[in-house]
Amino acid sequence: MQAQTPDQVADTAQPSSASNTKENIFLFVPNLIGYTRIILAVISLYFMPLHPLRCSFIYAVSCLLDALDGYFARILNQHTKFGAVLDMVTDRCTITCLLVFLATAMPRYAMAFQLLISLDLASHYVHMYATLSMGGGGSHKDVDAKRSWLLHLYYSNKIVLFMLCFMNELFFLALYLLAFTAQEDLLADSQMTKSTRSEPRSARAMEIARTNKIQSSIPGILVWLSVPPMLVKQYINIQQLIVASKWLAEGDAAERARQE
């Protein structure tokens, strides 16, 4: 039998070593935090129609974990494309669910909430698609300042990113709590009928729950305090949609020019 050289031995052992050190991306700490966010968001949806304080607390914890997964991704060197997509999809789904509820709780402003949902989804989808298809970098947060100094600041400055996202979520969460403050035109708890008790998640039950659930001016104060940063966040969404669309159009024009 012919003896193997040291290089041949190393080559033979390499597949076995690689298989032993193969990482499971789905079990990275930031992604585990992402799964926890999803679970908490689902739980908050369950409490959303009738238990505003409980729902708000769980929803807020889910949102705050958004900053924690990024922290662990940096210190553990566990940045992944799957994690970035998971993070963005979770953000979009949670805020969409909250806005859908607000559209039913405040039907007068339903169209505004519908437009905000559309802007949020379109802006982030087009931006991520442009980043991936146009070779803009390994992450949707890698925005060239030449394309937009505002988006570059938003994504590169962690304090700006956290504060604007936090205040944007706070605005809609405060609106949600405002929907449960006492209102004169709603039914009192004593008027709850047997049929309403048997259907605790009906529209009538929700109205009764809103009657005396929260006796506080804090939700209204939080709404007004968070209005300016919420508007800035929506302007950034518009800017993001425009910049990403122009980037895609530039790519289309360059490709058509090469084909001529």
Mean pLDDT of 242-255: 94
Q: What is the pTM of this model?
A: 0.80
- Helical (H) or strand (E) element with 256: helix 218-259
Q: How far apart are CA 217 and CA 4, in angstroms?
A: 80
List Cα–Cα distances, 111 to 67, 115, 116, 157, 187, in angstroms.
31, 6, 9, 33, 26
Please state, rounded to an integer, the average pLDDT across all residues of the chain: 84
Q: How many CB atoms lie within 10 A of CB 212?
A: 14
- pLDDT for res 191: 44
Q: Which of 82, 87, 60, 59 is nearest to 71 (CA)?
A: 87
**Is the pLDDT assigned to residue 237 strictly greater than 80?**
yes
Q: What string of DSSP letters covers 4-67? A: PPHHHHHHHHHHHHHHHT---GGGSHHHHHHHHHHHHHHHHHHHTTT-HHHHHHHHHHHHHHHH
Q: How far apart are CA 137 and CA 160, in angstroms?
A: 21
Active site residues: 91
**Is the pLDDT assigned to residue 190 strictly greater than 90?**
no
pLDDT in tens, 4-57: 555 554 455 444 444 446 889 999 999 999 999 999 999 999 999 888 999 999
**Is the pLDDT assigned to residue 70 strictly greater than 60?**
yes
Mean pLDDT of 238-251: 95
38 alpha carbon, distance to own chain's centre: 10
Query: Looking at domain 24-181+216-259, which of 1.20.120, 3.30.70, 1.10.3470, 3.30.160 is its CATH number?
Result: 1.20.120
Question: With contact defined as beta carbons under 8 Å apart, do 88 and 128 qualify?
Answer: yes
List Cα–Cα distances, 36 to 44, 75, 96, 115, in angstroms.
12, 19, 18, 29
CA count, 13 A, side-chain hemisphere, 29: 13
